Structure 1
C-alpha cells in the first residue's frame, strides 16, 4: 500500500481545486456497440478487442467507466452524488452495469449487519472479477482494519472531494487510503443527482450522541457543522438549477450548529427567506433526535408551518421503555419524546411524525416491549421504521447479553403487524390537496407527489408534470399512499428539464450512465464520454419528435396530417392533469394512442399510395412483357 500524498506530490499542478481536476486536452473514448443488433465479433474476439482498447487507454485518466453502488442513508446518497459529479466532470463515464465498468466504487453503510454483509458480498464479487475497487463511506472509516478491505483503495467520509485522485491511482494499480479528517468537503463541488429535482443537502456531519448500539459515530465522528452562509448559498444555487425539493440531511439535524455557536432554527429561518415566493421549491427537515429540539420546539413549529416547508419530521424514539432508552444511552425519556410529538402536532396543522423502533435490544423484557407496542398504538404513526437489533463490532451494546434471535424476530413481526393495521390516511377521500411532483412511480404509470404533510400521492399525469405543483382531488387511499386526480397546475417547469429527469429516474441506479447514454447532471452538459449530449425526450414524445425536422421541410398533405396528429396527442396529454373528471382507468387510456379521423385519413392516404404504386408496377410489367 502506498500513500496517495506521495503518489500525487508535485503531479497535481495547475491550481485545480481539490475534487475538480483540470481536464486533459486529449482523451480516449471507449468503443460503443449497438444494443439493438447482435454482436458479430463473438465472445472471444470481443474479449481480445476489449483488452486491446483497455491496454491502449488504461493510462489515460478520464477515459474509463465507473460503476457506483450506494448503501445507507440520504447523507451517503449525497456523498455518492458528489463523487459522481467530480468523476463525471473529469471525463469518466458512469454506469449502473458493473460488468461494463473498469472500476467499482462502493459507498458503504455500517448501521446494520445486512447492509455490511451485502457490501462484503459485492467486494468479493469485484475481486473475483479482478476489477479495480474503491470503497468509501462509513465501513472503512469506522473499521479500517476489516479483513474484506485488505488490498482495497479507500476514501474516507470527509475526503470525498479527492475521489478523482483515488480513482486515478487505483486504475494505475496502486492501493491508496485517505482516511485522515482535515476539513469538511466544500458544498459547491460538481454533483450528479439521482433525482434532478431533489437536492440532498448535508448540513453537518457526525453527532453529539453516544448511543451504545451506534457504529456510525465511529465513522462520522464528532459534530461538524457547515456555516449558515455556505448552506444558504448552496440553496440559492440549487434553486437556480431547477431543484424542487431540498432535503436537509445529517446524522442528527437537531444538533446542527452547536459546535459553531448557532442552532437549527436560525439556519431554517435563514433558508426559508431565500425559497421562491411562489412555493415552487419545498424544504424537508431531516431526522432529528429528541434531546436537541426540546428547547426549540416552538421555533421549529413556526418553521414547519411555513408554506415552503413540509409539515413532516422524522424523530426516532427507538423504544417505548425508559429502561431500554437508558441502556441505549439515548439521553431522553419517553415523556420527553411525547412532549416533542404532542407539541408539534398541536402547533403545526397536518403535522406528520415518522419514528424508528429497535426490537430486541439487549435486556429488553416483555414489559419493555409491551410499552413500545402501547406507544405505537397510541400515536398511530404513519411511518415507523422497524428493525431488529444487530450488534455492531466495537460498540458497548455488542458486549451486552443478547436476547435469543427467535424472540427478536417474533417481536419484530408483532410490531410490524400492529403498525400495518393502521389506516393513517382514511378520511382523505374527496379532499383537495396541493402536491409537489418530483418522481416517477415504479409502475411507470403514476407520478409521485407529496402533500404539505409529506403524504405520498400517486397521480396519472404526463411527464411534463415532473417538477411542478398541482391541486389534486384525493380519489382513494391505500396503506402507504393515496391516489389523486389532477384539478389544476399551479406552476410549470421547463419541459426539457422534465424530459431529462425521466431519463434519470428510469435507470435502476443513481448513476446509470454508460458511454451510450450520458449522466443526467444538474446541467444539460455534454456527455462525460465526450460523445454526445443527454437524451432529452420523454417516452411519449420521442416517436413524434423524431419527425420534427422532416415535417418542418414538408409542405405535402401527409406532412400537414402528421403535424395535426402530433398536436392533437400533445393537447390530450396536457389536458389530463387539468380535467379532474376522468377516472384512473380513463387517465391511463389517455396515454395510449387512439385512432381518430386524422389517423384514418393518413392511413387511407398511405393505402391509396401503395395501391397506386402497385398498379403502376403491374402496368409497367405488362408493357415490358409485350
Structure 2
C-alpha cells in the first residue's frame, strides 16, 4: 500500500484537538472476507460511541519514545478515551516501537501477532514503521509516523471504524504544548530535537527519525515553565543526540541549558537531567557544559556512549571521534564537576572486531570503572552498511558480552558510602530493588526531597534512613566547602545525591545501575514517620538545639563565602543574645507551668 498523504490541501492538517471528517484523512477500508453480521447481531452488539473506548498503550525503546507515547495518550485522553496498560482491557492497541535492536523489534512482532489473533484494532507508531514501512508484519495495520503523533486521535477513530490509516510523511515538529499523560507525574521527558547529524554504519534510528530538527529555545523554555507549574520534580532532556542540539537553527546546547536553568526554582525542588550526547558535538563546549552540570539544580550526570575502546572499530562504525577524544570528554567533566557520574554504551562483536580491539574496550572500562554501562551484542539492522559487513561468529560475540559484563559487575561503586548524609530526590516507587537509594517512608514523601543517611550498601543498591524531608531548601555548597572525601564520593556534597535517571529501556547487561536515581521501595513503605523524626518530635529541646545549630552553621558558611570573618563556633559559650534569650524564655515558661500545676494541686488539697 502506498503512503497516504494528508488530503487537506494547503491546510497542513487539522489543528491539535480538532477532529477531521473521514474524507479529510487518507484511509483504506479493510477488506472483510467474513459474511456481514445479521441484523439481530447488530442490534445486540451496537457500536460504541467514538471516544468512549479503552486504548492499550505499549512503548518500546528510549525516553524519546516514552515522551511520544505520553503525548499520544494525552490527546486520546483529552477526547474521552481511557488509557490502560492492560492489553485485555483495550478495545484498540497502540504500540510505539523501537528499531535500535533486534529484540525490541521481535517483541513488537510478537505483540502484533497476539493483537491480530485477538482480533483487536491495531495502530503501530514509532521508529519501526517509519524506518521500515514495507515490513510484512505491518500489512493491514494503521500507522502513525514519528512526526505525526499529533494526528493520533484521527488515526485511532478511523481504525476503530475498520479503516486502515497510514500517516508517515515528515512535516513540522509536533507542538510541545499538546496534552500529555505522563507515566510518572513527577517526571517530564522533554524532547529538544529529533534526528541527528551522525551517520553511524550500524544505526537504523536515523532512517526513522531523519536529519536533525531542533525545537527553538523559546518553545522549550515555555514548556519548562509550564511543567514546573504543573508540579514536575524532574525534567529529562531527551533526543537522539542532545549534543547536536541547535546546529540546524543557529544555536547550541549550552545556550539552551543556560536558558532552561534560569527558569528552575532555586530551591532545587525541580531538577534537570541532560540526556545522551555523543562525543563529537560536545568537545567544543566541554567547559560550558561542565559549568551547567555544576549548577545546584542540575544532576551531575551525563550519558556519553563510547561503543568501543578501539579506534579501528570506531572508524568502521563511522563514529567521528577517537578513543582519545572520548577520554578528553570524561577527564574534563570529571575534573571540573564535583561528583561527576558518566554512563556509557558498548557494542560487543561489531563486524571486524578482533581480540585486540575487544581487549582495548575491556581495559577502557576497567580504567574508568563507569558506574553504569549498557552492554549490547551487535545486531545487524536491515538497510544499514554494517549489515553487509562480515560478521564476527555469534559464539565469540556472546563470550565477549559475558566477559565484559563480568568485568563490570565486579565493580563496587557504592563502597564507602555507609554513614554518609546525602540529599535525594524522590520521584517514584521502586519495585525491583536495584536502584541507588531505597528508603522506608510513607508514600506521601513522593515528589519531595530529603536528607538521608546511608545505612548500608550493596552491588546494585544503597539503603538509607530519612533524617528530614525538604520540600524547599537550598542545595549544593560552594565547591570550596566540599571536603576531599566528599569530592571523591559518588555525590558532590553531603546534601546532594548523584544525578542519573533510569531509561525506560533496561540496560542490556542486566539491572540499570544509575549513578544516583532515587526511588522509593514500595515493598518497604511504612505509614509511620522515620525513627529520627519521632525522636525529634518527642524532645523539643533537642529539636530546638538542632535547628539553631543548623542555622548557625549556615550563617557561618554564608559569612565565609562572603569573606566575613567569624570566630564564634557553635558551642554553648559562643551563643549569641538571641540564642540565650530564647533559652531563658523556654526555661521561664517551664517554671511558670510548674508553678501553676503546684498552685492548682495546693488549692485542691485545701478544698478537701
TM-score (norm 1): 0.72
* Inter-partner Cα distance in structure 1 for 2:268 and 2:425: 10
Cα deviation code 1:181-226 (max 9, x no counterpart): 1110000000000001000000000000000000000000000000
- Determine if contact 1:320/1:371 at 8 Å carries over to the other structure: yes
* Inter-partner Cα distance in structure 2 for 1:53 and 1:475: 65
Cα deviation, residue 57, structure 1: 3.3
2:464 to 484, 496, 500: 484
**Higher RCO by CA contacts (8 Å cutoff, separation 6 or greater):** 1
Q: How does 1:188-267 map onto structure 2 within 5 Å? A: 188-267=177-256
Say if 2:453 is the partner of 1:464. no
Residue number in structure 1 paired with 2:66: 77
Say if 2:248 is the partner of 1:293. no
Residue number in structure 1 paired with 2:318: 329
1:125 to 114, 117, 135: 114
* Inter-partner Cα distance in structure 2 for 1:222 and 1:2: 23
Say if 2:149 is the partner of 1:160. yes
* Inter-partner Cα distance in structure 2 for 1:580 and 1:338: 49
CA change 1:269–1:99 in 2 (3 A) is same
Specify the SS of the correspondent of 1:175: strand
- Determine if contact 1:159/1:178 at 8 Å carries over to the other structure: yes
Specify the SS of the correspondent of 2:107: helix
Cα deviation, residue 456, structure 1: 2.3
Cα deviation, residue 297, structure 1: 0.3
Cα deviation, residue 94, structure 1: 1.1
Cα deviation, residue 71, structure 1: 0.3
Say if 2:111 is the partner of 1:98. no
Residue number in structure 2 paired with 1:34: none
1:425 to 398, 407, 414: 414
Cα deviation, residue 100, structure 1: 2.3
Cα deviation, residue 16, structure 1: 6.9
- Determine if contact 2:16/2:178 at 8 Å carries over to the other structure: no
Cα deviation code 1:301-352 (max 9, x no counterpart): 0000000000000000000000000000000000000000000000000000
CA change 1:316–1:20 in 2 (3 A) is farther
Q: How does 1:377-388 map onto structure 2 within 5 Å? A: 377-388=366-377
Cα deviation, residue 439, structure 1: 1.0
Residue number in structure 1 paired with 2:488: none
RMSD over aligned CA atoms reads 2.8
CA change 1:360–1:85 in 2 (3 A) is same
Q: Which moved more, 1:484-493 or 1:399-408?
A: 484-493
1:88 to 74, 77, 81: 77
Say if 2:293 is the partner of 1:313. no
- Determine if contact 2:3/2:168 at 8 Å carries over to the other structure: no
Specify the SS of the correspondent of 2:428: strand
- Determine if contact 1:324/1:361 at 8 Å carries over to the other structure: yes
Say if 2:128 is the partner of 1:148. no
Cα deviation, residue 575, structure 1: 4.5
Residue number in structure 1 paired with 2:16: 18
Cα deviation, residue 177, structure 1: 0.4
- Determine if contact 2:203/2:384 at 8 Å carries over to the other structure: yes
Specify the SS of the correspondent of 1:419: helix
Cα deviation code 1:335-374 (max 9, x no counterpart): 0000000000000000000000000000000000000000
Cα deviation, residue 179, structure 1: 0.5
CA change 1:20–1:377 in 2 (3 A) is farther
* Inter-partner Cα distance in structure 1 for 2:246 and 2:152: 27
Say if 2:332 is the partner of 1:351. no
- Determine if contact 1:134/1:170 at 8 Å carries over to the other structure: yes
CA change 1:337–1:2 in 2 (3 A) is closer
Say if 2:568 is the partner of 1:578. no
Cα deviation, residue 131, structure 1: 0.9
1:57 to 44, 47, 72: 47
* Inter-partner Cα distance in structure 1 for 2:418 and 2:389: 49
Residue number in structure 2 paired with 1:171: 160
Cα deviation, residue 277, structure 1: 1.2
Specify the SS of the correspondent of 2:46: helix
- Determine if contact 1:461/1:577 at 8 Å carries over to the other structure: no
- Determine if contact 1:196/1:243 at 8 Å carries over to the other structure: yes
Unaligned residue ranges in structure 1 (runs of 5+): 23-47, 449-454, 494-508, 511-537, 542-568, 582-626
Cα deviation, residue 20, structure 1: 5.4
Cα deviation, residue 2, structure 1: 8.8
2:363 to 361, 374, 377: 374
* Inter-partner Cα distance in structure 2 for 1:380 and 1:435: 23
The count of residues paired between Structure 1 and Structure 2 equals: 471
Cα deviation, residue 256, structure 1: 0.3
Cα deviation code 1:230-256 (max 9, x no counterpart): 000000000000000000000000000
CA change 1:577–1:320 in 2 (3 A) is farther
Specify the SS of the correspondent of 2:185: coil
Cα deviation, residue 578, structure 1: 3.3
Specify the SS of the correspondent of 1:438: coil
Specify the SS of the correspondent of 1:353: strand
- Determine if contact 1:20/1:90 at 8 Å carries over to the other structure: no
Specify the SS of the correspondent of 2:164: coil
Residue number in structure 2 paired with 1:526: none
2:424 to 435, 447, 465: 435
* Inter-partner Cα distance in structure 1 for 2:319 and 2:4: 39
- Determine if contact 1:485/1:580 at 8 Å carries over to the other structure: no
Specify the SS of the correspondent of 1:578: helix
Cα deviation code 1:60-99 (max 9, x no counterpart): 3201111111000000000000000000000111112212
Cα deviation, residue 52, structure 1: 6.8
CA change 1:579–1:362 in 2 (3 A) is farther
* Inter-partner Cα distance in structure 1 for 2:247 and 2:44: 50
* Inter-partner Cα distance in structure 1 for 2:349 and 2:5: 45
1:111 to 94, 100, 105: 100
- Determine if contact 2:440/2:524 at 8 Å carries over to the other structure: no
- Determine if contact 2:466/2:530 at 8 Å carries over to the other structure: no
